[in-house]
Amino acid sequence: MEASTIIKTVQLLMALSLLIIIHEFGHFIFAKIFKCRVEKFYLFFDYKFAIFKKKVKDTEFGIGWIPLGGYVKISGMVDESMDSEQLKQEPQPWEYRSKPAWQRFFIIIGGVMMNIILAMAIFIGITYAWGESYVDNKDVYNGYVFSEIAQNVGFENGDKVISIDGQEVGNFALIPQMILLGENREVVVERQGEPVKFTITDAMIETMLKDRNFINLRSPFNISDIQEGSVAERAGLMAGDSLVGVNGVSMKYRDEFVEVFAQNTNKTITLNVARKGVDSVMTVAATMDSTAVLGALLGVQIGDVYKISHREYSIFQAVPAGIVKGYNEIGNYLRQLKVIANPDTGAYKEVGGFIAMGNIFPGQWSWLSFWHITALLSIMLAVINIMPIPALDGGHLVFIVYEMITRRSPSQKVLEVAQYVGFFIILGIVILANGNDIIKLFS
């Protein structure tokens, strides 16, 4: 197994473990506040046996061997354990079913609350510790370069994105999110000094979802480093050089060179080079073997040419900024679910399981990335759990709210059937998500 895969796996397990423990602690703490007996508190599922367990007072704490979640088993509650034997006995004061509806409401919603609080706390911590670094759209004076998919929906290389759905663009990194999650997706760009407007339809989104990196900064071909044994080294290029043309034809941007390189695979071309300390443009010959075109493009690294804006936050500034960030991410995830639920976008095909989740993390360790992704996953877990699907927290809340309105409790039989229905719905979603992962591995 590659080192990057191990790092991704470790980060995924750490993040999921933290999120599960925090979520279940939300149920646990409210159960304790309202004097319910909690029989079990488990990270992962312990079908048949547990990796570790220890009983403290009335509660058995443990770690199961099936890493698909976790649970707290509260006395007198129909839950994922489907243990109905206890429910055949007379209700006891310490049981969940003996508590008033408003207390049961908080016991159920406690997990979601803790996930939201965790996400907000992480965003506050990130904002305070690392500040905010970004490329401001107004500083992107060369415009953007777009993938073939993005060009097919209306973009052209060099476009400067002005607004999306009437909202001016600030942070460059938010452009894909604004487009994919927008309502009407009306885009205004500046093209050759003139405003151009077009609309991206739901059908177009299906293709764009296959290429999340459909927009990138457009930059000159400024070389910051040369790889040993590369085409660039053999051609005599040096760090600090800038490519300004091919075969005597002037060019400025990296995407223009990439296109020419691809057209000249296994051919020798003449590169026009501007070098510091040399008054005139130099020419060097380079044989464009397939590795140069399909791999690291000549074997060079391109230097940064854009201003990186950075803002530091005091702890008093970080608190509201982090809360706003968390609030916005909740809205973004709800919009993602709306896109996924729309069959016209075909977004359900892009839903991923554990492999996709693991690939979200970088292959090299970064605490900033780890905490940011963990916060996003915490929001995702909260939103999914609050959905009104039986067996999820939202499903339990539906029955509690029904009881609070009608003053009538659903029968235990109804609750048990609902758990089974919810289980199969969730199983179907899990199969869909992980099935998509498997299909992508072999496609």
One DSSP character per residue, 408-438 reads -PPPHHHHHHHHHHHHHHHHHHHHHHHHHHH
- Which of 246, 276, 302 corresponds to the end of one domain? 302
Answer for the pair 322, 130: CB distance below 8 angstroms, yes or no: no
Residues 207, 186: Cα–Cα separation, whole Å: 17
Q: Are residues 260 and 210 in the same domain?
A: no
Predicted confidence at residue 301, as pLDDT, reads: 65
Question: Is 44 domain-assigned?
Answer: no
242 lies in some domain? yes
3-state secondary structure (DSSP) of residue 441: helix
pLDDT confidence of residue 135: 86
- The total of structural domains in the chain comes to 3
Domain that holds residue 279: 221-302
Integer Cα distance of 236 and 244 in angstroms: 16
Q: Classify residue 77: in a domain, yes or no.
A: no
Q: Let me know: does 230 contact 261? Beta carbons within 8 Å.
A: no
Q: Which regions of the chain are under pLDDT 50?
A: 293-296
Per-position DSSP letters for 87-130, written without gaps between them: GGSPP-TTSGGGS-HHHHHHHHHHHHHHHHHHHHHHHHHHHHHH
Distance CA 374, CA 332 (A): 16
Q: How many angstroms separate the first and last alpha carbons of the chain?
A: 21
Residue 147 domain-assigned? yes
Domain ends where: 302, 327, 347? 302
Q: For residues 211 and 226, state if they share a domain.
A: no
For residue 94, the model assigns a pLDDT of 87
- What is the pLDDT at residue 294? 41
Closest by CA position to 1, among listed 435, 437, 363:
363
- 352 within 8 A of 435, measured Cβ to Cβ: no
Are 177 and 160 part of one and the same domain? yes
The residue out of 218, 250, 266 marking a domain boundary is 218
d(CA 120, CA 178): 22
From start to end of 280-405, where are the E strands? 282-287, 300-302, 309-311
Q: How far apart are CA 344 and CA 340, in angstroms?
A: 9
Cα distance between residue 240 and residue 244, in whole Å: 13
- Evaluate whether residue 157 is within a structural domain: yes
* pTM of the model as a whole: 0.77
Query: Residue 181 is part of a domain; what is its CATH number?
Result: 2.30.42
* Pick from 269, 217, 216, 265: nearest CA to 243: 269
Looking at the structure, tell me whether residues 226 and 286 fall in a common domain. Answer: yes
Q: What phi, psi does 6 have (nearest 5°)?
A: -65, -45
Whether 249 maps to a domain, the answer reads yes
Q: How far is CA 229 from CA 44, 164, 226, 269, 292, in A?
A: 49, 45, 9, 18, 11
Give the SS3 label for residue 176: helix
pLDDT, tens digit (0-9, with 9 covering 90-100), for 229-280:
777 788 888 888 888 888 888 988 888 888 888 788 778 888 888 888 787 7
Tokens encoding 234: 């053999």
Q: Is residue 153 part of a domain?
A: yes
Is the same domain home to 186 and 205? yes
Decide if 399 is inside a domain: no
Residue 267 belongs to a domain with what CATH number?
2.30.42.10
Distance (Å, rounded) from C-alpha 287 to C-alpha 234? 9
Could you tell me the CA-to-CA distances from 257 to 158, 240, 246 in Å, in that order?
14, 17, 8
